[in-house]
Structure 1
Amino acid sequence: MYAVVTLQDSDEVMVVASNWLSSDKTQSYWPPFRSSEKCMEAVQNRLKPETGGKPWEKLNISFHKEYVFLDKAKERQKEMTEQKEQSTQNMSKNPILPTPSTSRMPADGKNNLLQMLRDIKSTVQENSSMLKKLLKDNTVSEAPSSSSLSAEDFKTSLNLPLRTIEDVVRTENELRNATTREKYVQYLSRLGGFGSKDVIKNIMQQVLTDDLAKEFNWLGRGDKKPFSKLILTDVIRDAASKHSVLRVDSETEIKTYLYTINRIGRKRPRDCGDVTSEVTSPTLLDSAFQSEIGMSFLDD
């Protein structure tokens, strides 16, 4: 997808690839190319926002609207640019000049000045109404309401990240409830990220500790348990889909994440101390998985 935005520093209306936008759509990556043709080519191909592994510069933007097709986005860009130019021309034709005193102005001059001020006020009101409508039309539907829990409250109530096999069994039972499942999807979809890899990585790190992730691979080969059979996996895919991550891409990135954790054994800080001992002996809990989740795991 493609987005029409206004660069705040230059006030230019531009088209960018949607995968360049920050999760709150207040910033966008911008290619470092000097050639406008090369920049447009980068937009058209929705290139990953980096060069040689180094992320591009982020610019502050005003977001307007997203389009599936590039042609539609460019048409809207042209319309908005022409509107800005027309507004600038109108202002240049009718400048407001400071006067020492209006009491000495002829009656016609005062009337003209008052009419000019009314026209400017009307234009400002029209632009304000248009801006409010654009903001309303493009507000993310998943934005939390005033009655929603905060992100931290969500995390606490959902007991994330999961640390043990017992936690996974408990969570699988909870996710059979549609309301609870939606709470997980809503919280995890807030994590955001740039591109499918970043989105899935952010979600997986919130869902599982590294030590627990080592107990799984996608199909449950060897002595691992099958992550693909969990209801939790569908929840992760649903959360990622809210960032336009396709199902097949979600599965690919989950497989890659689990493979990386198992191969490298990367360590990262835990929220509450060392929990390694809790997950190094999951054998006793295999029967719980078989009865509660309907899984079968291969023995060594």
Structure 2
Amino acid sequence: MVESTTVSSSEEIIQRNKGLSMYAVVTLQDSDEVMVAASNWLSTDKKQSYWPPFRSEEKCVEAAQKRFKPETDGRLWEKLNINFHKQLVSFDEAKKEQKEIQEQKERCFLLSTGFTGMLKKQRHENTQEMAKNPLRSVTLASTSRLTPEARLVSTTDMDANLKTLQDIKKIVEENSAMLKKLMKDNAVSDVPSSTSAPSKDVDTILNLPLRTIQDLSRTESELKDPKTRKKYIKSISQLGGFGPRDVIKNIMQHLITDDLANDFNWQGRGHKNAFSRLILADVIREAASIQNVLRVDCETEIKNYLWSIPDRIGRKRPRDYVDEW
């Protein structure tokens, strides 16, 4: 069954020859994601856009690139509220604009969350480490080129700081891969990583993991209290993990059961609820940031985790059935 059809090639040729914009860069208001959309998906006032219902991110990208008609089996897609940024002729130009806007949003986020203090702390720790272990000075030198606090306000300095973060992230991921190999970590295991060290006493107080929509609704109300919110963040920020994927996996498995997570996807497409709208999603972002997981990586790994839930449940069901016997 063909899910969607693309616009005719002759139409694309005509639009390219006329220099008409074929793609748009937009921000989805519900999830704050910067995305590339086909221009034929946008409403006349450019305040809404049809959006593909596909679960796979790759399929959504393909739909935009090939300019699918906004329908599946004759039924129009759901319309989402958007913030329009720019229209461009080619898909490559649109992807480049998307990346620039994402980086700008990330810079603003880092500035608004006290990134200056984190850089100063990292510089201090690196200096101490280099003094203790001269053999690592070459490696650490690549991650210790931090600009003074007074210069952080400039765009150029912010770009340099982002590059430093990327260097640090790369080193951490390489070390994580080596540790995982040594520990013979099973990539498909449903058991949280050995780095996870949850407190059973705290879990009992917080009633974790959440099992039902009622549990989640109660928790959402509780999280409106700053003290309770702080308690949750402190608890789940101590779970640990090797890299963004492992950190988010530990947090999600610790917070909610698979059956409850299966009721959600990131944007609330189809018949599922939007995880991005929960206060709990903000709590996860803050807890992950304490473990040096960037906001964009945190959201990406939450999406991946939610997408994998049906497969996880499918793998678990046969084992549960055998255990009952």
Tell me the TM-score normalized by structure 1.
Answer: 0.44
The higher radius of gyration belongs to 1
Tell me the TM-score normalized by structure 2.
Answer: 0.41
Structure with the bigger percentage of helix: 2
